[in-house]
Structure 1
Amino acid sequence: MRTTIYILSFCLSMSLPFVVQAQELIQGIVFDKETKQRIGKVIITNLNQQTEFYNNVRGEFKISPNPGDVLVASRDGFNSDTVVFDQQSVILFNLKRSIIYISEVNVVARKSPEEILKQEKESFNKAYRLADPGSLFSVGQTGAGLSISSIYNLLSKEGRNARRLTEIIERNYQENFVDYRFSPDLVNNITGLEGDMLRRFMSNYRPSYEFTRAANQYELSQYIKSKYILFKLNPNLRHLPALPVIKMDVNN
């Protein structure tokens, strides 16, 4: 009986360090692999113990793993990272972004499309006044009547020419807006294309003004990536340009 007690005591004394070790809280931190900044709201999963929890906003967490436990850190927008616990004093996860966001770069020396449009409106102020005849009716001391100046602006050759000019300015603004967002620098950063291949890609897959106006930076980047996949299938393919819309003015 006494021998049995000695054996049990010996077994308990040998297993105690492992029990204590299993209950010890180990600190950990989650980093962005590229920027080295800490990442919060990451799910930490212990696959062996079937437990999971979030780290804090500073990217830190505490966990009680057993030696050999497989730990996984995961978050939307990042590839998961896996660590096998081998009695490290600190557990470090490094998550790599699965989606690359490219921020817009504002070049100080380059005017925005809005600035160019504003400048042209100021330069051609008279044309804009003639292009917009205003209300055809006027109210005077003798009552309501037709506005002679508005009718003149609407029907005169000078008024028609002014409207043509403002339409050209508006089209130029739309083209400048597409150029501003769908820039060679942006396409080069995403695709790596340069020189003639870059110019060919941008000519073949130039987005419309409506899409460029509505799309955010991520959507525009995804558009370029999808078109680049098509471009790589046949880089020498040249798209025919769209037929121009011709407006006939029979009164001129």
Structure 2
Amino acid sequence: MARLLIRALHIILMAIIAHTVAAQDTVLTGYVLELNSGEPLPYVEIKNLNTGKLAESSADGKFTIPVKKNERLQFEYPGYRTDTLVVIEFDIKRVYMTPDGSAIQIDEVQIQAMTDSRLATEIERARKEGQVAETSQHRGGLRLSPSRWLGQEGRQARLRYRLLLAEQERRKIDARFTPEAVMAVTPLKGEELELYMTKYRPTVEFLAAADESDLRLYIMDTYAKFKELTPKQRAEIKIPKRDNP
């Protein structure tokens, strides 16, 4: 009798543990990619439709979000069809998004054609629009408008702000990390020069704190690493294609 009671209690305990584990959130990891090119899509909004929890894909398309089995995730990005995913397993997901034919308000080519002063003006404008604040007639000052923040207008403004800011940072890097600066301390030319400058492009934060001697040392150190790359590793470097403004 005692054995039967112990066995019954064991079964009940295991059932409680299984139920508790099933009820807990699991962090799902995945990547959001563009269907046609296979390139990663940054700043995609991922929403758990069951809990309302939000996440956003990073520069390499990666995202993580708490989710339970059988919950639905929604993927939304301006200019692409909104997609949903039912989570039935927790292996790494690759979600491919399809363009819907609509255009965002500003594209990379337009940004590159801007003067530096116009770019700075557009960054400030997009920053303010991305905050999506409006004047309160009753209490004065500004208040956040949740409906506009979560709406298409707010998302487009924030995406535009990120694109503009990325172009401003690119220009800051290009102003100092030039082919002439690299060729002054290395024998690199032609395609090898492009591969090196793509692979070892410094961050804007590093350049903001670095003087010319720091930059030269950085180039020499990274050139030494570049020489050690195998042909396969060099072949995997993707040189960005840019249209001339």
Q: TM-score, normalised by structure 2?
A: 0.42
Q: Indicate the structure (1 or 2) with the bigger Cα radius of gyration.
A: 1
